[in-house]
Amino acid sequence: MGFKSDSKYVAEKAEGGCILERKFVNYEVENGIAVVTINNPPMNSLSAAVINELTDVLDELDEKDDIVIAIITGGGNKAFVAGADIKAFGDLVGKREMVVEGSRGMQKCFSKVENSSKVVIAAINGMALGGGCELAVACDIRIIAENALIGVPEVRLGLIPGAGGTQRLVRLVGKGKAKLMCLSGDFYGAKDALEMGLAERVVPAGEAVNEARKMAQAFLGNAPLALRAAKRAINEGSDMSLEDGLIMEASLVGDLFMTEDLREGAAAFLEKRFPAYKGK
């Protein structure tokens, strides 16, 4: 299972923003927010080409200083991402090294989501199963539509999650719930996902992206360097001892006191006005 794709893309300017279009993964940028859409009908499965294009998109977004928030969603109204391309499984039976390479490719892609300099919001607009659940879990925040389903049903196919699910789920929802999900292969509705800690917000059907945009706009009122530092402190600190995490936190606070944004934020507070952050 390789991760190279020969699909071509075109870029075209749009009023008020920019639309970059590939074969499977498109994104639109406007006012500091990038909306990334995975479009591989009918269920937005994670083929090798999709993973390759998503990886390229994540790399591009990380290079753009004017983008602060990225929203990931699925094209259409059926699925966020409904897992891997099961049709390709038959060709991979008995080819261990190819399978390991494919698994590592997905893991590296989703690690780019987790470690992106942008705040990444998953707008779960439909089924998020298998790799789709794993992608959502790699995001910073998950907004799920009330008609969506989420889960890791790999055991029903004789597999386990292979795109980081066994590792990220336990960090997100705890060992017991992660085992329940992985051992049962069950699907969970939006309310259950919220109660389990799989999602931070439930919204009406069709409103996941709109709610993600509203949340992103609220985040944009804060200093971008502080957003990045907060994400880094939480991500990296969760794998450290408490004392090491506290030391890192203090160091990041010190770094922020060296920025123009901190001076602007303090001045705006004292002057009772909205700050004009520059990300410097």
Q: How far is Cα of residue 68 from the mean position of the Cα atoms in its chain?
A: 13
Taking the alpha carbons at both ends of the chain, their separation in whole angstroms is: 42
What is the dihedral angle through the alpha carbons of 89, 169, 24, 100, rounded to the nearest 10 degrees?
-40
Annotated catalytic residue within 53, 134, 211, 249: 134
Report the C-alpha gap between 137 and 152 in whole angstroms.
Answer: 11
Residue whose entry in the numeric block shows the structure tokens 């789920």? 169
Helical (H) or strand (E) element with 64: none
Query: How many other CB atoms are there within 10 angstroms of residue 230's CB atom?
Result: 17
Report the C-alpha gap between 160 and 46 in whole angstroms.
Answer: 16
CA contacts within 13 A on the Cβ side of 102: 22
| 3-state secondary structure at position 134 | helix
Annotated catalytic residue within 154, 207, 243, 249: 154
Report the C-alpha gap between 191 and 177 in whole angstroms.
Answer: 15
Helices 165-173 and 131-138: angle between axes, nearest 10 degrees = 50
Beta carbons of 198 and 143 less than 8 angstroms apart: no
Beta carbons of 80 and 44 less than 8 angstroms apart: yes
* Annotation says 154 is catalytic: yes
Q: Torsion-angle region of residue 264: left (phi > 0), alpha (psi -120 to 50) or beta?
A: alpha
* Annotation says 134 is catalytic: yes
Write out the catalytic residue numbers: 134, 154
